[in-house]
Structure 1
Amino acid sequence: MAKEEKKVVTEEELQANVWKLLWYNGIFSVFSSIAQLGLFDTYLFIMAGDSNTAVGWAESISGLSQIVLAGPAGILSDTMSRSKILQWCAYLSVLAVAVSVAGVSLDNFPVIYVSLFLFGTYTALQNTASFALYSDSIPQGSRAKWLSRISIVNQLGYGAGPFLSLFLLAYFGNEWKLSVLHFVLIIGFIGMIPANFFLVGLKDAQHEEEGPEASGAFSNLKYARVVPWLICGLDIITAVGAGMTVKFFPLFFKEDYGMNPGQIQLLFAVYGLSFGFFTWLCEKAAEHMGRVEAGLLFSSAGVVCLFLLAYLRWLPAVLVVFVIRGALANSIYPIDKSILMDFVPSSERGRWNAAESISSMSWSGSAVLGGYLMDAYDYRQTFVITGFIYAVAALMRLPLFLMVPRYEVSASQQALLTRMVSHEDVQSVLLASVRSRSLSVQFEL
């Protein structure tokens, strides 16, 4: 990242970055889950006259704005101060919330579309800059652990939000009425503003300014440049499938099983909290069997659960499989993110975070297709189609077995090897470890 003056950043400031971003993600996810997930989708569904297609179009506006702006956001993040970009995001959040509150209060689709565009812009800038800065603030060799932690915090927030919604619905009325949904959604939107205070006062930082690790832990390996493209590619395939299904789960339970708002919020509270537990399980699995192995195991199990969800009819079984499927699918994200960050240099993390934002938001285009399919056929038929798409993404993980070392490497371990052998020999040692899948043995010196 280009800077006019190189500043020395202390370890205390790096740790402060990490904790501020953890607090931001925790608080924001609580209120975002109230304002932008299941209840908001159902609100749009009711306001549009029970139309899944309308929900798909609304999701597409937000997502497509992120896709269009992700590239410029990545360039900005790699050429400007990432902390300054996040400060801009804090100001932009106030405008996005104000327009959202106005749109919901007036039940006005055009105003809501503008608010979705503003939040799409906010998300493109915030995701790109915050994850790049967060990764820079984490010591090399610890990214999987700390990316798992921020993911767990996020997911616990997305579980806590629906619990808070339960109390709000109990007070305002547990009915599918626009007047009831107005109050709950507006409280959710307003609650996002305090979270953005934590985006102010961050410090630009890099753990990898000097030395052989400056290019990233594994970016000197043969075929290293292929790994980020593979990660983003399988993310795109996964996101296309997710867009056809995920946004419609609340409507599936409302329409097929007659659930009321409180029941759906309780379900999504358990759903979100399960993400945190399974993310922890995936992290532990990765420590013992390797990151690629854990990713393939959890993603494949998620595919099986989605096919089961399409054919099961007994509600208790459907609920259990629904929760487990979502937890498995979401638990692998921090593992994939840690691999991506280990294979790209710090100076390119902004653009690769942007590329991943493009891939993760590509589900927005498929949300329109999902809405049409569900209106034309039914929810379960779309689940089957999504299952096959997820299976393709899982198979794309297989080449990573030949490219990604099983264990992470700390900066001190990499520096030790560099002092002992030539640069070419470092590559040979690391490549041999990839093939033998036993990198830990190389560092037991």
Structure 2
Amino acid sequence: TTGKSGLKLNRNLLLGFTLTGVFSFANNIYSTNVFPVFLLKVADGNTLLFGLAEGLQGLAQLVTAFPIGWLADKYKRKYLLWAGGLLWIIFIGLLAYATDIATQDSMRSFIILCVALSIGGVTNGIVGGPLMALLDDSTPAGYRSDMELYYGVIWNIASIAGPIVSLISFAEGENEWTMEQMKLIIYIGCAATVPCIILCIFFDDDLALGKESEAISRIEGEAAEVLGGRQGDGKKVLGFITTEMIPWFLFGLNLFFSLGAGMSVKFFPIFFADECGLSPVTLQILYIILPSVVVAFTLIATKLSKTWGRMQVIVCFNFLGIGHTLAMALMRSQYHNAEVMVTVYLLRCGFQWSTGGLAYSIIADYVPKEYRGRWNTLESISSFGWSGSAVLGGHLVKLSGYSTTFLITAVIQLLGVVLFALPITPLVALEKDIQKAVEALKDNEGELEEPLLGGNEARSAPRAVVPASSSIRGLPGMNPTFEETTGENGAGASSLSRSLSHLEHVARIGSLG
């Protein structure tokens, strides 16, 4: 499925990228910068209530995500995507209705919007978790940073179009944050989300890859030798941190970043509108430029990761991003200077938002396929941390202002890098080494087939999928039962039976902090 040309796109990947682009376009029409201002107006400027609404969205995702992850591992992922599409219909309808009846300083309108946001949180968990696990199952090991690069670039390019629609709407109407003007933009965003529901129907677990999309710990034989000891010699950092702990450390990093980011990211549009005095049109222009900056930084980060290593780039870029967040906290005297603050903000987001895909690719490389659905449920914890900390952020903004909030964000994220990113940096294999291991595995399989099948039969017969051995130890606390691993009769689980049992990934939006 791959070669020297790099990642080959299959049906699931093409559908996933298309869904990503459509949703990013629709979501960024209203969600990024219009809806926060709209919700704050409905809450009569109460930032604590605003944070509470965001917290409810994260709580809804947290409560439902673990059952969703279990179902995604127990049954085919496409069934969950179908269910997510149906719930999406309810979410769009309720959000449109809540927007239609919303008035400024109306508690009834605010409560209905909170219900809509809660359903949106459940929808995010249903669609986001199984979708990303299926994309990882459809991507060969060693090429996942390329898949994440496609994903990130498509998301950010499509997100440019969203603010353009908002900009045109504000330019043609009133260049003011009026309720009617914002309602129109939310309606457009809801309508643009409808194609996502249709796309959910066409995903198929049976088109996912076999052994070549496994975790590198499952790539047997040549893998340990090719990886030069990184994977196979039991190397430890600080005497206890091993490769098996890499996903957990990345989860910890993502959780810290989510906790910090949730306190500030949702308030950036309000910060620029209130403190820097940006008009609606100017704010839309900012959010048109921002994705272009993130795309450029993502291309640079992915290119550097091929030679430096993925964790090395993650650590370096995050330190630089945190430095710019700290600068925003300390530059209170410049808050009136929109040009300066916008420049610092763009650099901050460029560094920090460009490495999420690299982190996800590492997790997918170090988590076996049959745990990927469960790992996706961990996104709910980070998302709740993100949304839950928005409640605290709203209180801090009201109590101490934006400067203190930005400072606390920087400190929390700095702790995350020091505690969770630096320790695992020496353990993560280079992708070029993983690619060699996958090619060696395929060569070995070919050598075994030819003597058994002979000439033409060997070339025409479908390649057997190497089953996961029941002796392989799973992640701590996530070991399957004997029946789940080997099947009723003790036979090794095939790729298909595993897809009907149990599958990975960690916090997508959350790590964008």
Do the two structures share a fold, i.e. TM-score over 0.5? Answer: yes
Q: Calculate percent identity across the aligned residue pairs.
A: 28
- 1:166-210 CA-partner distances (Å, limit 9, x unpaired): 011122322111111111111111211112322111110476644
1:232 and 2:255 are equivalent in the alignment: no
Give the aligned partner of residue 84 of structure 1: 79
Distance 2:135 2:413 in 1: 29
What's the offset of the Cα at 1:214?
7.1
**SS of equivalent residue, structure 1 residue 98:** helix
Task: Specify which of 368, 372, 376 is matched with residue 391 of structure 2.
Answer: 368
Distance 2:207 2:193 in 1: 28
1:199 and 2:200 are equivalent in the alignment: yes
- Structure 2 vs 1, CA of residues 308 and 394 (structure 1 numbering), >3 Å: closer, same or farther? same
Give the aligned partner of residue 57 of structure 1: 52
Matches for 1:92-107 after TM superposition, within 5 Å: 92-107=87-102
- Structure 2 vs 1, CA of residues 239 and 198 (structure 1 numbering), >3 Å: closer, same or farther? same
- Structure 2 vs 1, CA of residues 29 and 361 (structure 1 numbering), >3 Å: closer, same or farther? farther
Residues 101 and 186 in structure 1, CA contact (< 8 A), matched pair in contact too: yes
Residues 32 and 188 in structure 1, CA contact (< 8 A), matched pair in contact too: yes
Matches for 1:407-426 after TM superposition, within 5 Å: 407-408=431-432, 409-410=434-435, 411-415=438-442
Give the aligned partner of residue 422 of structure 2: 398
Residues 246 and 424 in structure 2, CA contact (< 8 A), matched pair in contact too: yes
What's the offset of the Cα at 1:79?
1.0
- 1:348-383 CA-partner distances (Å, limit 9, x unpaired): 111112213422441111000000000011101110
Give the aligned partner of residue 285 of structure 1: 304
Residues 61 and 383 in structure 2, CA contact (< 8 A), matched pair in contact too: no
Task: Specify which of 276, 283, 291 is matched with residue 272 of structure 1.
Answer: 291
What's the offset of the Cα at 1:148?
1.5
Give the aligned partner of residue 273 of structure 2: 254
Distance 1:50 1:110 in 2: 15
Moved more, 327-336 or 393-402: 393-402
Task: Specify which of 400, 407, 416 is matched with residue 377 of structure 1.
Answer: 400
Give the aligned partner of residue 369 of structure 2: 346
Distance 2:426 2:307 in 1: 18
**RMSD between superposed Cα atoms in Å:** 2.1
**SS of equivalent residue, structure 2 residue 10:** helix
Distance 1:249 1:231 in 2: 26
**SS of equivalent residue, structure 1 residue 362:** helix
- Structure 2 vs 1, CA of residues 323 and 280 (structure 1 numbering), >3 Å: closer, same or farther? same
- Structure 2 vs 1, CA of residues 205 and 320 (structure 1 numbering), >3 Å: closer, same or farther? farther
Distance 1:97 1:144 in 2: 32
Give the aligned partner of residue 216 of structure 1: 215
Letter in 2 for 1:185: I
1:310 and 2:329 are equivalent in the alignment: yes
Looking at secondary structure, tell me which structure has more helix per residue: 1
Structure 2: unaligned runs, 5 residues or longer: 1-7, 103-108, 220-230, 235-241, 448-471, 473-513
Residues 302 and 325 in structure 1, CA contact (< 8 A), matched pair in contact too: yes
Q: Which has the higher Rg, Structure 1 or Structure 2?
A: 2
**SS of equivalent residue, structure 2 residue 182:** helix
Give the aligned partner of residue 321 of structure 1: 344
Give the aligned partner of residue 121 of structure 2: 120
Distance 1:375 1:52 in 2: 7
Residues 278 and 338 in structure 2, CA contact (< 8 A), matched pair in contact too: no
What's the offset of the Cα at 1:160?
2.1
Residues 41 and 247 in structure 1, CA contact (< 8 A), matched pair in contact too: yes
1:336 and 2:328 are equivalent in the alignment: no
- Per the normalisation by structure 2, the TM-score is 0.76
Distance 2:353 2:206 in 1: 28
Residues 260 and 409 in structure 2, CA contact (< 8 A), matched pair in contact too: yes
- 1:26-69 CA-partner distances (Å, limit 9, x unpaired): 01111101232211000111121212112211111111111222
Distance 2:295 2:275 in 1: 28
**SS of equivalent residue, structure 1 residue 139:** coil
What's the offset of the Cα at 1:109?
1.4
- Structure 2 vs 1, CA of residues 360 and 335 (structure 1 numbering), >3 Å: closer, same or farther? farther
**SS of equivalent residue, structure 1 residue 50:** coil
Residues 44 and 54 in structure 1, CA contact (< 8 A), matched pair in contact too: no
Letter in 1 for 2:140: P
Give the aligned partner of residue 33 of structure 1: 28
**SS of equivalent residue, structure 1 residue 331:** coil
- 1:319-367 CA-partner distances (Å, limit 9, x unpaired): 1110111121111110000000000111111111221342244111100
Distance 1:65 1:297 in 2: 34
Give the aligned partner of residue 73 of structure 1: 68
Distance 2:14 2:324 in 1: 35
Structure 1: unaligned runs, 5 residues or longer: 1-12, 421-426, 428-445
- 1:225-246 CA-partner distances (Å, limit 9, x unpaired): 2111101111000000001000
Residues 14 and 205 in structure 1, CA contact (< 8 A), matched pair in contact too: no
Residues 134 and 208 in structure 2, CA contact (< 8 A), matched pair in contact too: no
- Per the normalisation by structure 1, the TM-score is 0.87
What's the offset of the Cα at 1:158?
2.1
- Structure 2 vs 1, CA of residues 225 and 219 (structure 1 numbering), >3 Å: closer, same or farther? farther
Distance 1:370 1:120 in 2: 19
Residues 310 and 380 in structure 1, CA contact (< 8 A), matched pair in contact too: yes
- Number of paired residues? 407
Moved more, 320-329 or 272-281: 272-281
- 1:120-168 CA-partner distances (Å, limit 9, x unpaired): 1110011110000011111221111011211111122222211111011
Residues 160 and 273 in structure 1, CA contact (< 8 A), matched pair in contact too: no
Letter in 2 for 1:403: L
Give the aligned partner of residue 19 of structure 1: 14
- Structure 2 vs 1, CA of residues 160 and 200 (structure 1 numbering), >3 Å: closer, same or farther? same
Letter in 2 for 1:329: Q
Letter in 2 for 1:233: G
Residues 174 and 260 in structure 1, CA contact (< 8 A), matched pair in contact too: yes
